[in-house]
A and B are shown apart, each in its own frame.
Chain A
Amino acid sequence: MTMELFVVFLASSIRLAVPLLFAATGEYVSERAGVVNMSVEGMMLTGAFGGALGAAMTGSPFVGLLFAVVFVLPIALLQSVLTNTLRANQVVTGIGINILVLGLTTLGYRQFFGNRSREMITGFNAWSPPLLGDLPVIGPIFHQAGLAYLAVAIIIALAWFISRTGVGVALRAAGEDPHAVAISGVPVIALRHGAVLFTGLMAALGGAFLSIAEIHTFTEGMTRGAGYLAIVAVIFGNWRIWRIVLACLLFGAATALQFQLPAIGVQLPNALLIMMPYLLALLAVAGLVGRQIAPRALAQPFWK
């Protein structure tokens, strides 16, 4: 592989990893607080739909982002009320919400876009930051949509917040021993509500990235399991934020390889590359790649 091709490969790996980075770091926060959201898939899909709709109606991708967040928050709130207030089974409600949202966005898409489906939506264009973008050879790697840089900023802030602030510590404790947290006077349920809403916000950005910064249109069920892949990244990243970031980049690279390998004459079945993240995660939880330590109270409803 020439250097030039390799740089193209790195750039597209990062571009493909961005939606996962948003959704996986969002899901990371929830899972550290003890809540699994299978509905990340549906939240991303709603974000993609809202983003496309807002951008198509106004011509402004920023309005698209706003729509994405506004559309996803009720979904996240529904998930949060079901799992935290009503203590419903987290897997069931998540899958139920995904079925619901797939129907809603498909219906909405037919109503609002109809025949205009082939039209490209005004979206975010890739942008090269000064200095970094001018670097020789590796400059093109930094040619990304602005949202990618937003993701980096949020992740750095989040890593600090989770490890260094009182709320961050309480949040992690809520996923390990919620009863101890409750006894120390911290409202566990409120923390978990906040965590799920944050997941919704991040999934909305990730979904919107797909529709308005990458593909520039909406198609029915366009996330195609990206939300589940984000959950897989959290598992493979062993519930540690920097490992999750690496997992997302690895999964992005595996996707990018599908397009790169044929270019350099390597014939490998596509399916094998798409399957790779799931296979790696399975090996990880099977204990073949290090030890997995999930939050102890993960997916358990909290009863006082």
Chain B
Amino acid sequence: MTDIPQHPPVIRSAVYKDMFGRIAIPIIAVVAAFLVGLIAVMAMGVSLERAISAFINGAFGSAYSISASLNRSVSLALVGIGFVIAARAGLTNVGGEGQIAMGGVFATALCLAPGMAELPFGLSFIIPLVGGAIAGGVWGAIAGFLKVRAGANEVITTLLLSFIAIWLLYWSVQSENLLRQPMTSSATLPESLSIPASTQVPLLTGSYASPVTWGLPLTIVIAIAAAIILSRSVFGFNLKAIGFNPVAAARAGIAVGAGVVTALFVAGALGGLAGAVMLQGEQYSLKAGFCSNYGFDGLVVGLLARNSITGVIAGALLFGFMRSGGISMEMMASVPSALVGIIQGMIVVSIAGAAYFLDRGSAR
């Protein structure tokens, strides 16, 4: 029964069709989802004008809102880039949420470590950033190790590790032995102390009126580096070979196991870095709800980008600005921000479904 085709029939893979799929389908999906959103706003009896202006104000209305949106996009982009790197080796990293959590926990611990705040040359914030990235990386690498050693499916292990990390985060802010601030009264919140100013990621403009952090240029550099490494380096080529056919890659002398572990380490490290940047650049203290779904949204951004770093940037910007707009819509026009979730869900579902019409024409 070896002659049964395992892949969709290769019909034709015209270039224009690919272009259409990469650009037109996401645009159509986004526009259609927004239209449905507008209809929902009307159905709720809220004035369209009010809802739209609240959304636009929240997303791009001021230097402050643009900065907040960009900071959100940075976290999504980092997770998304990591996802694309792992996907190049045929690996699906579902663990972004947990990798962010581990990054946040370790960055907090390092920021609050004795002596950290006094370190010179910006080391006071760089070391926690690096530590957070390594923590997330290790969390990702565990899944890679389990895949190589025990053949465990990384979709399952990264998801499980994610839940474990989320509860480790919860534990660390609940227990005074870990990161919880000293309980002076029964009203002391289950969160960490605020991190010292010198461990915070500096703002680009230096002003809280436009609080975009150095995370933005860092992410741009990482995106460019990732694009070059994936398309031009030996490492990128090896990942592609592993993703295409691990058995053939091994025959060709590529260290498949090491490649799998490294790919998931890098993906996890970018998630961990996102967590560290979120903590040191925006939230400044660790809380149980710290990750706020950036891991899952970042995963979606990576998935929809169909393996392209440019796609990740576009998706991260879209979702980042949508989040800000949605929050403002809830506050200013009393349209529940759940509507943004509905729009995002529709975008994901329709783009994923539309892949059929593209993949049918080419062997995935």
| Residue positions of A touching B, CB distance < 8 A | 36, 78, 81-82, 85-89, 91-93, 95-104, 106-107, 110-111, 179-180, 183, 220, 225, 228, 231-232, 235, 269-272, 274-275, 278-279, 281-282, 285-287, 292, 294, 299, 303
- Whether the pair A271, B174 counts as a contact (CB closer than 8 A) is yes
Identify the closest chain A residue to B357 (Cβ).
A86
- Whether the pair B345, A99 counts as a contact (CB closer than 8 A) is yes
Please report which residues of chain B, range 295-344, place their CB below 8 angstroms from some CB of chain A when the two chains form the complex.
Answer: 296, 299-300, 303, 336, 338-344
Contacts of B355 in A (CB 8 A): 86, 88-89
Instruction: List 23 A–B pairs whose Cβ atoms lie within 8 Å, in order of A's numbering.
Output: A82-B353, A87-B356, A87-B359, A88-B353, A92-B300, A92-B303, A99-B300, A100-B345, A100-B349, A102-B338, A103-B343, A110-B338, A111-B44, A180-B1, A225-B163, A235-B160, A271-B174, A272-B171, A275-B167, A282-B146, A282-B157, A285-B152, A286-B152
Contacts of A103 in B (CB 8 A): 338-345
Identify the 5 closest CB pairs spanning chains A and B, nearest first.
A100-B345, A103-B341, A96-B348, A271-B171, A103-B342
- Whether the pair B150, A286 counts as a contact (CB closer than 8 A) is yes
Contacts of A110 in B (CB 8 A): 336, 338
Please measure, in the bound complex, the distance between the C-alpha atom of A97 and the C-alpha atom of B175, giving whole angstroms.
35
Q: A91-B94, A275-B164, A285-B156 are in contact. Are A104 and B342 (CB under 8 A)?
A: yes
Interface residue B159 (Cβ < 8 Å from any Cβ of A) = yes
- Whether the pair B146, A286 counts as a contact (CB closer than 8 A) is yes
Q: Which of B149, B157, B170, B349: most chain A CB closer than 10 A?
A: B349
- Whether the pair B338, A179 counts as a contact (CB closer than 8 A) is no
- Whether the pair B171, A96 counts as a contact (CB closer than 8 A) is no
Q: A92-B352, A285-B146 are in contact. Are A99 and B341 (CB under 8 A)?
A: yes
Contacts of A85 in B (CB 8 A): 356
**B side interface size, CB within 8 A:** 53
Q: A271-B168, A282-B160, A299-B155 are in contact. Are A106 and B336 (CB under 8 A)?
A: yes
* Interface SS majority for chain B: helix
Interface residue B5 (Cβ < 8 Å from any Cβ of A) = yes
Partner among A81, A98, A107 whose Cβ is within 8 Å of the Cβ of B336? A107
Identify the closest chain A residue to B334 (Cβ).
A110
Closest chain-A Cβ to B235's Cβ sits at a distance in Å of 25
Contacts of A299 in B (CB 8 A): 155
Partner among A93, A107, A235, A271 whose Cβ is within 8 Å of the Cβ of B338? A107
- Whether the pair B174, A269 counts as a contact (CB closer than 8 A) is yes
- Whether the pair A95, B341 counts as a contact (CB closer than 8 A) is no
Q: A78-B349, A103-B340, A275-B167 are in contact. Are A95 and B296 (CB under 8 A)?
A: yes
- Whether the pair A275, B174 counts as a contact (CB closer than 8 A) is no
- Whether the pair B353, A99 counts as a contact (CB closer than 8 A) is no
New A-B pairs, 20, CB < 8 Å, besides A36-B155, A278-B167: A78-B349, A81-B353, A86-B353, A86-B356, A88-B353, A89-B355, A91-B94, A92-B352, A99-B341, A103-B340, A103-B343, A103-B344, A103-B345, A104-B345, A107-B342, A183-B1, A269-B174, A270-B171, A271-B167, A287-B149
Please report which residues of chain B, range 195-236, place their CB below 8 angstroms from some CB of chain A when the two chains form the complex.
Answer: none
Partner among A88, A179, A271 whose Cβ is within 8 Å of the Cβ of B352? A88
Q: A78-B349, A269-B174 are in contact. Are A107 and B339 (CB under 8 A)?
A: yes
Please measure, in the bound complex, the distance between the C-alpha atom of A287 and the C-alpha atom of B156, giving whole angstroms.
13
Please measure, in the bound complex, the distance between the C-alpha atom of A88 and the C-alpha atom of B303, giving whole angstroms.
12
- Whether the pair A228, B159 counts as a contact (CB closer than 8 A) is yes
Contacts of B338 in A (CB 8 A): 102-104, 106-107, 110, 220
- Whether the pair B1, A179 counts as a contact (CB closer than 8 A) is yes
Identify the closest chain A residue to B346 (Cβ).
A100
Contacts of A93 in B (CB 8 A): 348-349, 352-353
Closest chain-B Cβ to A79's Cβ sits at a distance in Å of 9
Interface residue B92 (Cβ < 8 Å from any Cβ of A) = yes
Please measure, in the bound complex, the distance between the C-alpha atom of A232 and the C-alpha atom of B344, giving whole angstroms.
26
Q: A95-B300, A99-B345 are in contact. Are A228 and B163 (CB under 8 A)?
A: yes
Contacts of B344 in A (CB 8 A): 99-100, 103
Contacts of A303 in B (CB 8 A): 5-9
Please measure, in the bound complex, the distance between the C-alpha atom of A106 and the C-alpha atom of B339, giving whole angstroms.
9
Please measure, in the bound complex, the distance between the C-alpha atom of A86 and the C-alpha atom of B354, giving whole angstroms.
8
Q: A91-B94, A106-B336 are in contact. Are A100 and B341 (CB under 8 A)?
A: yes
Interface residue B161 (Cβ < 8 Å from any Cβ of A) = yes
Please measure, in the bound complex, the distance between the C-alpha atom of A303 and the C-alpha atom of B303, giving whole angstroms.
22
Please measure, in the bound complex, the distance between the C-alpha atom of A279 and the C-alpha atom of B157, giving whole angstroms.
10
- Whether the pair A270, B174 counts as a contact (CB closer than 8 A) is yes
Closest chain-B Cβ to A257's Cβ sits at a distance in Å of 14
